[in-house]
């Protein structure tokens, strides 16, 4: 396999994959072979492949799911994103073959994507250069390679921005969920508490939720009603967004 033949030079994609589980926002990370460092799932872009499609491919390979919410959020193009010492260690640790040395020593720019996935649907699988693929809580991110911490930070900013623009949740929650679960998702993404009662009033006013007749039994207390997103109205709000300031 000749990287130079196959891939667009000096270009990669990285996918910050968000999931929501145990009331925590998590990202899918790769544990690098023979290293203590972790990485955001990424890959190269084939010469005859849309950049977006490369991101979709990476996502599919790491999670085994398709058709999920995926958006480009930033291009990371600093000249010193990588340096030779990083590639030195990759070669030393036998993470990459020596004949691929010159490919990895290129200057790379990378396109950041963030994905919102339903936690339970994901089957994590590592890639060539990693030994494990795991969900990691955002509150507990380990040491990451290169500028991957910054990539995650920017992805979170983009996600927060998306939250203020339109609805979020259909891609992160199971089909049926309680109002508390939805609110906790928002609280987790925003990093702040929201008033339970006012949240419900406002969320319902958007008209994107269907209140189901079921309740979630089995909890220790009063059984909360279940809700689901109204596909049609949810998608309308996705496009039009919430109240514009102007």
Partner DNA sequence: CATTAATATGTCATAACGACACAATGAAAA
Partner DNA sequence: TTTTCATTGTGTCGTTATGACATATTAATG
SS3 6: helix
Among 111, 133, 172, 226, binds a second copy (CB under 8 A): 111
* Residue 164 Cβ vs a second copy, minimum distance, rounded to whole Å: 5
- Contacts with 195 (C-beta within 8 Å, 6 or more apart), sequence order: none
The tokens 């000749």 sit on which residue?
A: 2
In the complex with a second copy, which residue's Cβ is closer, 48 or 120? 48
Show the site string, 191-220: x = touches a second copy by CB under 8 A, - = not. ---x----x---------------------
217 is in the binding site of which of DNA, a second copy, none (Cβ under 5 to 8 A by kind)?
A: DNA
* Residue 97 Cβ vs a second copy, minimum distance, rounded to whole Å: 22
Report helix, strand and coil shares of the chain as percent, to nearest 5.
35, 30, 35
* Residue 241 Cβ vs a second copy, minimum distance, rounded to whole Å: 8
The tokens for 35 are 């290293």
Q: At what angle do helices 179-190 and 148-165 cross, to 10 degrees?
A: 130
- State the residues that interact with DNA by CB under 7 A: 178-180, 195-198, 200-202, 205, 215, 217-225, 243, 245
* Residue 207 Cβ vs DNA, minimum distance, rounded to whole Å: 11
Per-residue HEC secondary structure of 82-141 comes to CCHHHHHHHHHCCCCCHHHHHHHCCCCEEEEEEEECCHHHCCCCCCCCEEEEEEEEHHHC
Tell me which residues in 148-187 interact with a second copy (CB under 8 A).
161, 163-165, 186
Tell me which residues in 46-75 interact with a second copy (CB under 8 A).
47-52, 72, 74-75
Rounded-to-integer distance, Cα 69 and Cα 139, Å: 23
In the complex with DNA, which residue's Cβ is closer, 48 or 198? 198
Rounded-to-integer distance, Cα 35 and Cα 87, Å: 13
Q: What angle do CA 105, 125, 65 make, to 5 degrees?
A: 110
Which positions touch a second copy (CB under 8 A)?
Answer: 8-11, 45, 47-52, 72, 74-75, 77-79, 107, 109, 111, 161, 163-165, 186, 190, 194, 199, 242-246
């Amino acid at each position: 396999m000749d990287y130079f033949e196959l891939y667009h030079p000096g270009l990669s994609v990285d996918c910050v994959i968000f999931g929501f589980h145990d009331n925590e926002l998590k990202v899918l990370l790769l544990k690098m072979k023979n290293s203590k460092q972790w990485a955001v799932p990424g890959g190269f872009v084939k010469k005859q492949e849309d950049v977006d499609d490369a991101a979709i491919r990476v996502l599919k390979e790491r999670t085994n799911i398709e058709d999920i919410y995926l958006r480009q959020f930033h291009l990371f193009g600093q000249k010193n994103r990588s340096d030779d010492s990083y590639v030195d260690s990759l070669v030393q640790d036998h993470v990459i073959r020596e004949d691929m040395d010159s490919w990895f020593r290129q200057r790379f720019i990378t396109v950041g994507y963030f994905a919102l996935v339903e936690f339970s649907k994901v089957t994590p699988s590592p890639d060539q250069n990693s030994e494990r693929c795991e969900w990691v809580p955002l509150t507990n991110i380990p040491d990451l390679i290169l500028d991957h911490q910054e990539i995650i930070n920017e992805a979170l900013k983009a996600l927060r921005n998306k939250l203020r623009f339109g609805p979020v949740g259909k891609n992160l929650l199971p089909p049926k969920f309680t109002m508390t679960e939805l609110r906790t998702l928002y609280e987790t993404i925003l990093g702040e508490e929201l008033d339970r009662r006012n949240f419900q009033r406002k969320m319902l006013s958007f008209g994107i939720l269907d209140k189901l007749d079921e309740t979630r039994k089995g909890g220790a207390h009063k059984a909360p009603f279940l809700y689901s997103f109204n596909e049609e109205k949810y998608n309308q709000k996705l496009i039009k967004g919430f109240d514009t300031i102007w």
